[in-house]
Structure 1
Amino acid sequence: MNIRTISSFAIGPIGAAALGFITLPIVTWFYSTEDVGRIAMLYVMSNFCVMLFSLGLDQAYVREYHITMGKGKSALLKATLLPGLILLAVALIICLVKPGFISKALFAVDSVLISLLVAICFLATFISRFLSLILRMQEKGLAYSMSQILPKILFVLVIGTYVLFSFGFDLFHLVIAHTISILVVTLIYAWNTRIEWLAACKSQVDIQNLKVMIRFGAPLVLGGAAFWGLTAIDKLFLRSYSSFEQLGIYSVSVSFAAAASIFQSVFSTVWAPIVYKWAHSGEGLDKVEKVTQYVLLCVLLLFCFVGAFSWIVDFILPESYSSVKYIVVSCLGYPLLYTMSETTVIGIHISRKTFYSMVACIVAFAFNVLGNMLLIPHFGAAGAAVSTSMAFLLFLLLRTEFSVKLWRPIPRRKIYLFTFLMVVIALITTLYGEQIGYILHLIWFGLLLIVLLSFKKEVVETIGWCRALSGGENRTVLSDIKQ
């Protein structure tokens, strides 16, 4: 995978995030914090449906893709997509037997139309997940990216229409906008992958191979449930122990932290295929340590930049969201520490001991449950952000140590030292930022200087790499890592 391919994959997350920053201020100015909190519940449950009903077979598809030849790839797609799709459809039909049940359970609003729209969102999100994997594994970065950007553009246009004609400032119209956008992304994915899924419709499923993949994916379902809980329990506790208003403030903070999700999304997209290729060929595994150092540098820089410049949020959002500038730093814990763990967890994936991934998720999830129970009643959205950030620090530690146990030792003292420092300063910023004031931003600037000095070698190499790229060289990632 060369630089051009990586850049094509990066267009999607970067463009989607940029459009999100356009949409977010509009949503916060024209919709109540309660409705913003409610729509966050839709995102949470959409992710839950993908996680639960995929049965871990989406990960099996990624794992088996490169070792499956020819027409077997079509059968692989059908075998991994069909079981979960059938189960999800049956579950939604059962829920819709009682009109308004879904809407009332998610939003505390009894609406048959909203329930139907949510069901459509769940189905479309599930299908688009598998179709996107086709483009990802085929390294069709531009098509993958355009499928992410175009729905965001449409969402902006729908919201912009509401604003222009002064109507639709309620939950129902907000759900309509989201439904349209997710349907469009599914249709775009379907068009871009029409050859593959049409061939899959005609293929025969190898039951024995499906059983093998289910055995691989089964632990991932439990681990995925724990991971979903790890990332979603904060919103569920805010809904139960606080209010939709606090949930709205927290959701906006998480949305601003989506700037870091660009890094997470791009890295996760390109990293898995590269590592599995290395593992399949037996080459390149010694480069994992070097990649880990560069990822650590990026993680630390993003923490420092957001901490130092989060005050800019006050010029974008209404006054009712003034606490976002302090909360957003801790919200970085999920995307950044998760990305860091993706480099150190490689030993678990190579050894196929996915049980250990499940254990790491469950322990971190239990920790997050306890943290939310203790912090949310006192600190609201700030408590939820801190609890999740600390839970992901534990998640990183567990995944790393399990990987070392199953594969081989890697230098990790520097990883633990710096990530712990970032989480602690983020905790102080989030919980006590209003009392301490802008001196915290100066502390983040100081941390930035320390990071640059501590990673001077990596910084110099990165600058040299960027200069080479600007000179027109088109080297592959593998050759760059060798150097």
Structure 2
Amino acid sequence: MRNHFKMFLTFSIGTWLRAMISFLYTPIISYFLVPEEFGKSAMFTMVLSILSTVVQLGTVQAFARFFYEHNERDRAKLTWACLLPIVSIGTIISVSLVWFEEILSKAMFGQVYKGISFLIITSLYLSVFQSFNHQIVRMSKKGLTYSLIEVSNALGNVVGSIVYAALVGRTFYAIVYGTIVGYLAALSVGIQYGIAYWRFTVPELEEVKKVLKFGVPFAVLDLLYLLFASIDRLSLRIYSTLDEIGLYSAAFKIVSVINLLQTGLVNTWVPEAYERYVRDKSDRGFFRRSQEVISFMSLSAAMVLFISRDVLFLLFRSSYRQASAIVPFLILAPIMNLLWNTTGVGINLSNKTYLLIVVPLVANAVNYVGNSILVPYLGARGAAISTGLSNVLYFYIRTYLSEKVFPVGYDMRRTSFGIITFICVALIGTFNRNVWINVLSGICGSIMIVCLYRKEFRFIMNELEAAVRGKS
């Protein structure tokens, strides 16, 4: 467990630095872009995410699953067994984007932007290569290298966006070009550390079939999850305005700080979980202990972000500050994602990935109904409430299915009490405008979480103390 915690720290250095960069970047860019332009950038990102998922066909997850089943020399074959289907599908999608550019542009932005298809195509290929760049370093357990890639990506994004906004134009293109620069910076740093895996090698047809057999259910799952994650913005696009989407996106930028914590934990957890399973299929204690520590860390991070959100929005342009009320329930999205990546790993380990498709089908239906009811009356706050509670449902369904195929015996009572505690705090923060009441409710919630996870709190404090002493 101690080595696991140390590895988490090495993977998370870049994550925390990226969080700091994001804290500085988001308020700064808000002074360049009005909420409407922020909303357009959110639509671009949503479309890019959907296309990236279609192109990848779940091969990134397949790469992680079979990584340790290949020796060092054969991993280049695994890489290209994943990449060749991507290139084929990507070519078809690229031609379609150019052909239907005007229709797509009007659907996304309400007007035609010439050349937008080429920006989507460029971003699409870079995002795919960056996904494998990340995965190679992650599965090799090179935590510091992974962190360096994270920082390079963040800095490239920030510099590209701000330079474009300051010198060229204060439009959503600034964020688009910043994204491209960030991908290029990350690739230039990371690809050299895994260059052997990128060496072109013709894969065997059976290897490609094996990758697709494992990965395609993940692609379907990811598409369903993206639909699940996009229903809020689609509902706002239908029932509201691009301004409201911009405020919602600004709130998500603040919440993305926890996404970065999630990245650090999952990037430590997934390789370790697969390796542990290959080494000893009967070891359940490791999975149970890890879930308890991760639950405490994630719920604590949620409370800290809730308490500090009003202060953070003081850094934003005044037209964005009302987004503070959108944040509370949005925090549940990355928190639940982190928890189900921990408790739901049994589905992956048992190779019964088809079960994962059941989860978003139910959650999508609930989220759609929730957004349809709440968004017309509450706008972005309604979208946040529906999205947050649907993520909670997603977590419980996925955990239940995982326990059926890979019984671990997770402590769901404590986790459930912690989730209910945060939901109560989030309700106060969504509908109450008094900052001091919000802060007080967050502090009370934090105390309850620490009391609930006393053992895990002491463990983390001891590990941090040991790490500090080791450096002194």
8 Å Cα contact 2:159/2:178 also seen in 1: no
Q: Which residue of 1 aligns with 2:273?
A: 275
Q: Which residue of 2 aligns with 1:28?
A: 30
8 Å Cα contact 2:247/2:320 also seen in 1: yes
Matches within 5 A, 1:356-371: 356-371=355-370
8 Å Cα contact 1:61/1:77 also seen in 2: yes
Q: Which residue of 2 aligns with 1:348?
A: 347
Equivalent residue letter for 2:445 = L
Equivalent residue letter for 1:20 = S
8 Å Cα contact 1:35/1:248 also seen in 2: yes
Q: Which residue of 1 aligns with 2:454?
A: 456
Partners of 1:34 and 1:267 lie apart in 2 by 34
How high is the TM-score relative to the length of structure 2? 0.93
Partners of 1:275 and 1:139 lie apart in 2 by 12
Out of 433, 442, 445, which is 1:444 matched to? 442
8 Å Cα contact 1:50/1:129 also seen in 2: no
Q: Any runs of at least 4 consecutive aligned residues in structure 1 with deviations exceeding 6 A, and if so which?
A: none
Q: Which residue of 1 aligns with 2:169?
A: 168
Deviates more, 1:17-26 or 1:73-82: 17-26
Q: Which residue of 2 aligns with 1:325?
A: 324
User: Structure 1 residues 151 and 279, CA, compared in 2 at 3 Å: closer, same or farther?
Assistant: closer
Q: Which residue of 2 aligns with 1:149?
A: 151
Deviations 1:221-255 (A, max 9, x none): 22111111122221122122211101000101010
Q: Which residue of 1 aligns with 2:49?
A: 47
Shift of 1:428: 4.0
Q: Which residue of 2 aligns with 1:119?
A: 121
Partners of 1:349 and 1:266 lie apart in 2 by 19
8 Å Cα contact 1:313/1:324 also seen in 2: no
Shift of 1:174: 3.8
Shift of 1:295: 1.2
Deviations 1:344-392 (A, max 9, x none): 1122122111122211122112211111111111111111111111011
Partners of 2:105 and 2:22 lie apart in 1 by 25
Shift of 1:128: 1.3
Q: Which residue of 1 aligns with 2:239?
A: 241
8 Å Cα contact 1:21/1:256 also seen in 2: yes
Q: Which residue of 1 aligns with 2:227?
A: 229
Q: Which residue of 1 aligns with 2:297?
A: 298
Partners of 1:386 and 1:461 lie apart in 2 by 33
Say if 2:13 is the partner of 1:15.
no
**Helix, strand or coil at the partner of 1:71:** helix
Identity percentage over the alignment? 23
Partners of 1:447 and 1:3 lie apart in 2 by 25
Shift of 1:257: 0.8
Deviates more, 1:461-470 or 1:381-390: 461-470
User: Structure 1 residues 70 and 252, CA, compared in 2 at 3 Å: closer, same or farther?
Assistant: same
8 Å Cα contact 1:246/1:380 also seen in 2: yes
Partners of 2:236 and 2:4 lie apart in 1 by 43
Shift of 1:290: 1.3
Deviates more, 1:216-225 or 1:269-278: 216-225
Shift of 1:180: 2.6
8 Å Cα contact 1:279/1:285 also seen in 2: no
Partners of 1:155 and 1:212 lie apart in 2 by 36
Instruction: Provide the aligned length of Structure 1 versus Structure 2.
Output: 468
User: Structure 1 residues 137 and 327, CA, compared in 2 at 3 Å: closer, same or farther?
Assistant: same
Partners of 1:358 and 1:36 lie apart in 2 by 32
**Structure 2: gaps spanning 5 or more residues:** none
Say if 2:86 is the partner of 1:84.
yes
Deviations 1:400-428 (A, max 9, x none): 11112112233311112221331243134
Q: Which residue of 2 aligns with 1:412?
A: 412
Partners of 2:100 and 2:337 lie apart in 1 by 38
